[in-house]
């Protein structure tokens, strides 16, 4: 089952290790960069919401929204 989970100290390393295929690298930033952007957004009054995407217990992706 697909689920979204918070990025935590326990899954942070796995999250920043995820990579997209070579032909997709021009479309999205690396997860580490996106998490750094989340911190900057938070310190500037926005509300970032980064999540790991899981297929059962396997992390398969990353998504972030901010408002």
Q: Which two tokens stand for residue 56?
A: 């059962």
Give residue 56's pLDDT. Answer: 98
Q: Which two tokens stand for residue 1?
A: 């089952």
Query: Model confidence over 24-66: pLDDT tens digits?
Result: 999 999 999 999 999 999 999 999 999 999 999 999 999 999 9
Sign of CA dihedral 6, 47, 44, 31: positive
| Contact yes or no for 47/66 (Cβ under 8 A) | yes
| Contact yes or no for 36/16 (Cβ under 8 A) | no
Give residue 33's pLDDT. Answer: 97
Mean of pLDDT values over 8-29:
96
User: pTM of the prediction?
Assistant: 0.89
Give residue 37's pLDDT. Answer: 96
Instruction: Tell me how far apart the alpha carbons of residues 35 and 9 are, in angstroms, rounded to a whole number.
Output: 12
């Amino acid at each position: 089952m697909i689920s979204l989970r918070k990025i935590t100290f326990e899954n942070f390393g796995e999250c920043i290790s995820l990579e997209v295929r070579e032909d997709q690298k021009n479309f999205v930033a690396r997860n580490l960069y996106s998490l750094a952007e989340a911190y900057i957004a938070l310190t500037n009054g926005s509300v970032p919401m980064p999540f790991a995407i899981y297929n059962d217990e396997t992390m398969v992706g990353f998504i972030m929204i901010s408002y």
